Amino acid sequence: MTTSPLAELSAHVAALLARIDAATTLHDLLAEEPFIIGKRSILSTLQKSLGALAPEDRKAAGALLQEARRGVDEAFMTRREGLERENRAAALEADRLDLGDVVVSQVSVPVAVGHPGIVSATQRELEDVFVAMGFTVSDGPEVESDWYNFEALNIPPAHPARGMWDTFYVDLGEPETVVLRTHTSPTQIHLMEQAVAAASLPIHSVMPGRCYRRDTPDARHLAAFHQIEGLVVDRGITFADLAGVIETFTHAYFGSDISSRLRPAFFPFTEPSAEFEITCTICRGEGCRTCSLTGWIELGGCGMLDPAVLDAVGIDGEEWSGFAFGFGIDRCAQMRHQIADMRALIDNDVRFLRQFS
């Protein structure tokens, strides 16, 4: 007759209970856990050996073992809870303020949590739409040289188009050589220069950021405002790609009932150029005061990259072509949230701002 593997069971259980008692800190107890109730416990080893028993003996042995395990588990948990309670009490005692009879009872006032402003939130949403279309997001400086803001964009010093941008000049070095950028288009130049230097064409990127013009603030203009620029330089890019990107963006951002249309326009750095308009979001195309009864609202400019711009950055216009677009982020926020006066965006009136959390 073979001896049952459970012959020594009660001795094992007693040894495990003694181990539980011997652990005086939570840390010690948890370190013992695998050996007492875990996989490396003698009880787990015994469990496996039950397979060697004759089938008729197995059931009774299994029940015996189960009961032993339950007892050990319970003792372990009870000890664990006791040690945890002791730890908590010790921590509270250590933190106690000894003020004699004074009772400390601080009332906590709920803290108002801030949230991104409408323009930042709009910028992020616009970035998300373009990232989903395969664009990267890039950044450029707000203080620019005349070359990046104008010349490289085919706007030479005496060009009448400079009149389109009432410029803030920065008093640094030669007069009228350093400017606060009047649009995000100079970032196109930085990006193309970097891509040429790194031989990393093509480019599919959007460039959001702050711009400045000497505009008197009114319901639709701010002197510091935000634009998002788009630039694609690749092989075989056509005007149809440009129109497709604008239309896809318009649906993705404003909704499927808002469409875009392009109207001939002039920009020195694109040829041909267009202004793009979207269905008026106030009247949904019916015609209202905001859209001067046309049903359309102008959002920005766009066009195919002018060969002179590609030349300025050293890109071969025979091999590469591309398009650019740029439009106002503040204007988008205004259209999307139907904000009558853009100056509300910079008033910092919390009653206004809270509506957009």
Contact residues for ligand PHE, defined by CB under 6 A: 183, 185, 229, 267, 270, 273, 300-303, 324-326
User: Minimal CA–CA distance to 315: which of 305, 324, 325?
Assistant: 305
Cβ atoms < 10 Å from Cβ of 28:
12
Give the whole-angstrom CA distance, residue 302 versus residue 185: 11
Amino acid at 21: D
Instruction: Read off the amino acid at residue 277.
Output: E
Work out the angle at residue 63's Cα, subtended by the Cα atoms of residues 62 and 64, and round it to the nearest 5 degrees: 90
Minimum distance from CB of 275 to ligand PHE (Å)? 8
Cis omega (within 30 of 0) for bond into 272 = yes
Nearer to ligand PHE, 41 or 273 (CB): 273
- Torsion of the alpha carbons at 244, 246, 252 and 256, rounded to the nearest 10: -80
Calculate the alpha carbon distances from 4 to 72, 174, 197 in Å.
21, 100, 81
Q: Which is nearer to ligand PHE, 76 or 327 (CB)?
A: 327
- Minimum distance from residue 356 beta carbon to ligand PHE (Å): 26
Beta bridge partners of residue 233, listed in sequence order:
203, 322
CB closer to ligand PHE, 69 vs 183: 183
Q: Which residues contact 242 (CB under 8 A, 6 or more apart)?
A: 232, 302, 303, 304, 323, 325
The Cα 320–Cα 209 span in angstroms is: 26
Q: How far apart are CA 165 and CA 298, in angstroms?
A: 17
Report in angstroms how near the CB of residue 273 gets to ligand PHE at its nearest.
Answer: 6
**Cβ nearer to ligand PHE, comparing 42 with 265:** 265
| Closest approach of ligand PHE to the CB of residue 320, in Å | 17
Phi first, then psi: give them for residue 32, nearest 5 degrees. Answer: -85, -15
What are the φ and ψ backbone dihedral angles of 80, each rounded to 5 degrees?
A: -65, -45
CB of 340 to ligand PHE, least distance (A): 23
Nearer to ligand PHE, 41 or 270 (CB): 270
Least Å from the CB of residue 295 to ligand PHE: 22
Measured from the CB of residue 349, what is the shortest distance to ligand PHE in angstroms? 28
Dihedral pair phi/psi, residue 259, rounded to 5°: -115, 175
Q: CB-based burial of residue 144 (10 Å sphere; 0-12 exposed, 13-18 middle, 19+ buried)?
A: buried
The nearest distance, CB 213 to ligand PHE, in angstroms, is 9
182 burial type by CB count under 10 A (0-12 exposed, 13-18 middle, 19+ buried): buried
Nearer to ligand PHE, 83 or 277 (CB): 277
Enter the DSSP assignment of 52: G
Shortest distance (Å) from residue 303 CB to ligand PHE: 5
**Closer residue to ligand PHE in complex, CB, 5/186:** 186
Q: Which is nearer to ligand PHE, 129 or 288 (CB)?
A: 129
Shorter beta-carbon distance to ligand PHE: residue 5 or 209:
209
